[in-house]
Amino acid sequence: MKKLTPFFWFNTQAEEAARYYCSIFEHSSIGKILRYGDAGPGPKGSVMTIEFSLEGKDFVALNGGPEYKFTPAISFVVDCKDQAEIDHYWDKLSEGGKTQPCGWLVDKYGVSWQVVPANLVELLQHPKAIQAMLQMTKFDLKKLQDAAKG
């Protein structure tokens, strides 16, 4: 039995978002889909919840209506092994969304992500790397590494 599962609240885009995220992350899959029945509150036959997995992590998305919106107070960190991975996740997740400083972005559904080098904490032990990071939107791993070397 799982102890924790992140749960997304969408207006009506739960299935669309789950399939979108699964198209970006290599080791991903769609799980069980629960549909609204006669009792509602959504239209009969429409998706109520959809389970999906990204890189071995389980998630659930709900079509719960327009009451709640995502905020950057919760974000998902994508640790990347190299610049190619940073570019891939940055380009895909920011498509139709908004980029922000220091590797943050908000995707087209309003979910916040941090696309970072896997060794970011190590790099940021160096003040010059922090200064370099503060000048970046999408991370440039070589520039961060060069700054960390002094």
The CATH number that applies at residue 85 is 3.10.180.10
Sheet strands side by side (includes 7-10): 7-10, 57-63, 47-54, 28-35
Is the pLDDT reported for residue 72 higher than 80?
Answer: yes
Do 83 and 142 lie in one domain? The reply is yes
Segment 18-28, tens digit of pLDDT: 999 999 999 99
Examine the pLDDT at 57 and tell me if it is beyond 90.
Answer: yes
Angle between helices 141-149 and 127-134 (to 10 degrees): 150
Whether residues 88 and 55 fall in one domain: no
- At CB < 8 A and 24+ separation, what contacts does 135-139 make? 136/101, 136/102, 136/103, 137/99, 137/100, 137/101, 137/102, 137/103, 138/86, 138/87, 138/90, 138/94, 138/99, 138/103, 139/86, 139/90, 139/103, 139/115
pLDDT at 64: 95
**For 87-100, what is the mean pLDDT?**
98
pLDDT at 140: 98
What pLDDT shows up at residue 150? Answer: 85
> What domain range includes position 136?
75-149
Per-residue pLDDT band at 139 (split at 50, 70, 90): very high
The HSE-up count of residue 123 (CA atoms within 13 Å, CB side) is 19
- The pTM of the full predicted model, rounded to 2 decimals, is 0.93
Q: Tell whether the model's pLDDT for residue 110 goes beyond 90.
A: yes
Query: How many angstroms separate the Cα of 91 from the Cα of each of 75, 110, 139?
Result: 17, 16, 12
Shared domain check, 125 and 80: yes
At residue 111, the pLDDT reads: 98
Question: Which pLDDT belongs to residue 2?
Answer: 76
pLDDT at 71 over 80: yes
Is pLDDT at 89 greater than 80 in this prediction?
A: yes
Domain contains 2: no
Q: What is the pLDDT of residue 40?
A: 84
Do 31 and 83 share a structural domain? no
Give whole-number Cα distances, 119 to 7, 80, 141, 148, in Å: 28, 8, 10, 11
Q: What 8-state DSSP symbol labels residue 4?
A: -
Helical spans, DSSP H, in the chain:
14-24, 83-94, 120-123, 127-134, 141-149
Cβ neighbours around 150 below 10 Å, total: 8
Q: Report the number of distinct structural domains present in the chain.
A: 2
Whether residues 105 and 131 fall in one domain:
yes
**70 inside domain:** no
Q: What is the pLDDT averaged over residues 27-38?
A: 97
- Statement: residue 1 has pLDDT above 80: no
The average pLDDT across 58-83 equals 97
